[in-house]
Structure 1
Amino acid sequence: MDRIPSVDLTDFISGDPQRKQKFINDIGKAYEDIGFVALKGHFLEDQLVDKLYAEVKNFFKLPVEVKKRYEIPGIGGQRGYVSFGKESAKGKKEGDLKEFWHFGQYVEDNDELRKEYPENVEVKELPEFNRIGKETYRMLEKTAKYVLRALALHLGLKETYFDDYIHNGNSILRPIHYPPITEEPKNAVRAAAHGDINLITLLMGAQGRGLQVQRHDGVWIDAIAEPDELMINVGDMLSRHTNNKLKSTIHRVINPPRELWGTSRYSIPFFMHPISSMKLDVLESCIDKDHPKQFEDITAGEFLNERLVELGLIKK
């Protein structure tokens, strides 16, 4: 496989049983083979994407001292600003060459979860940044719900199996700025090779090349979405829950050729997380004599905490 498979969500929600089943088969096979798909027919309108990129650029252009006011201590970077070089990939000591922002869940009907999650951080200088971020969050969350419904059917589960776990889930929208590279990086790349922590990740067409996916034979291939596509990949939580039937694929963002070092790159992934109490125990339907249980029982909250420690974002 030299390119990421493409699917169209309108097939799944068309009301046509044959189109729906074809979507389920295609996305299921892609996630078993390489763990990535390019998705058309999602709920993000072009106009919203354009507004979001404009607001994200406005935020990262703010003076460093202003941005740092929105870096909240003690919450592991789960909301607000995270400054350049703070995050590193699991097992890597060099910080990635990026700064980023986190929009989190907007809990509406659960006081316990509202207390559990850090509050979203409002940027006073840019009210549209806050509004457009929330609207984008909602549209990506809606898209992710239907992708997970298709995967539930592929796994032989009830279509709405994931719905209650992702409603008010601890999902994150992360606008990332990879600043121009001003000197030879010492072993650092824009984002070192890693797997994602969560259930699935939705990435709107990142500006420019850079994202690469590692096939199971070790070969790296470029993952380039069309302008109307989202790149959607399996995260470690879903891989664990399915006994690695659905693959959480290692990916990275490489540094550009030297002649493009002077350019910024922006990327905006949405990390779909469940509520912290979701059990990630391996599904019985994914265990047989050829595929014995690979993972210990754990909740989503416990797993997330372990990984945030490994990433250096929270201390033990």
Structure 2
Amino acid sequence: MADRIPVIDLAPIISGDPGAKIQVAMELGSAAQTLGFAVVAGHGIDPIIGTELRDAALRFFDLPLEEKLVIRRPKNDQNRGYIPYGEETLVRMAGGSSPPDYKEVFAIGPDNIPDEPYFTGPGSYPSFAPNLWPVAPINLRSCMLAYWEKMEALMRTIAEALAISLSLPGDTFADILDHTHTSQLRLLHYPAVRGDAEPGQLRAGA
């Protein structure tokens, strides 16, 4: 097993060079089957997209609590909207116990959901619950959706590489990674620990 997380350059895949694409695909597949993680470089995503999203996110989390609570998630199983301190305890997913996570969250899923049974029928909740957007900062929505779009494209590039690494056609996973996927984009804010932190309270207990 690898003793460090590999950095894999995706540029050859994006450039379309068939021979290089296979080589990179095998590197990515090996990382997935051994360590289970990889850092990807050469993805072509402009860093300004992440910078603008981070700036907008920090402005949102800096708002007074009462303003953020206007878009508080309606139910605990619905990862949409604002999730304040104390509402998530990640370690419980593994059957453990600890004080609630010392973080706050803003989460979205797919936006502009089509009015079709797959997205609106009985089995669609909570995967396609509507997003809840704040009034301010005004550019948070556009920044999140711009980042979402780039991550969708990157997801498809990685899926193509993984398919090739398994000796499958590159488009094997394309149909299940179209607009019907149920991904989430969560902004996590870990503020400076104050005196109200409980013993053993972690940022995201696990």
> What's the TM-score once normalised by structure 1's chain length?
0.57
Matched residues in 1 for 2:102 and 2:202: separation? 6
Superposed, which structure 2 residues align to 1:137-156 within 5 Å? 137-156=148-167
The C-alpha deviation readout for 1:65-99, integer Å capped at 9, x for no partner, is 11111113236232111111211221233222211
Superposed, which structure 2 residues align to 1:57-68 within 5 Å? 57-68=58-69
Instruction: Determine the structure 1 residue equivalent to 2:183.
Output: 171
Seen in structure 2, the aligned counterparts of structure 1 residues 114 and 66 have a Cα distance that, compared at 3 Å, is same
Matched residues in 1 for 2:47 and 2:131: separation? 25
Equivalent AA in structure 2 for residue 137 of structure 1: W
How far the C-alpha of 1:135 sits from its partner, in A, is 0.8
Identity of aligned residues (%): 28
Equivalent AA in structure 1 for residue 182 of structure 2: N
Seen in structure 2, the aligned counterparts of structure 1 residues 108 and 75 have a Cα distance that, compared at 3 Å, is same
- Select 1:97's aligned residue among 80, 96, 102: 102
Q: Does 1:182 align with 2:183?
A: no
SS of 1:67 mapped into structure 2? helix
Equivalent residues of 1:44, 1:136 under 8 A apart: no
Instruction: Determine the structure 2 residue equivalent to 1:157.
Output: 168
Seen in structure 2, the aligned counterparts of structure 1 residues 152 and 174 have a Cα distance that, compared at 3 Å, is same
Seen in structure 2, the aligned counterparts of structure 1 residues 182 and 26 have a Cα distance that, compared at 3 Å, is same
Structure number with the higher helix fraction is 2
Equivalent residues of 1:97, 1:178 under 8 A apart: yes
Structure number with the higher strand fraction is 1
Q: CA RMSD in A?
A: 1.8
Matched residues in 2 for 1:145 and 1:14: separation? 15
Instruction: Determine the structure 1 residue equivalent to 2:135.
Output: 124
Instruction: Determine the structure 2 residue equivalent to 1:46.
Output: 47
Matched residues in 2 for 1:10 and 1:26: separation? 13
Equivalent AA in structure 2 for residue 191 of structure 1: A
Instruction: Determine the structure 1 residue equivalent to 2:80.
Output: 79
Instruction: Determine the structure 2 residue equivalent to 1:254.
Output: none
What is the number of residues matched between the two proteins?
A: 193
Matched residues in 1 for 2:16 and 2:38: separation? 22
Instruction: Determine the structure 1 residue equivalent to 2:35.
Output: 34
Equivalent AA in structure 2 for residue 64 of structure 1: L
SS of 2:82 mapped into structure 1? strand
Instruction: Determine the structure 2 residue equivalent to 1:19.
Output: 20
Detail structure 1 runs of 4+ shifted over 3 Å in the superposition: 107-110
Gap runs ≥5 in structure 1: 194-316
Equivalent residues of 1:43, 1:140 under 8 A apart: no
Matched residues in 2 for 1:26 and 1:133: separation? 30
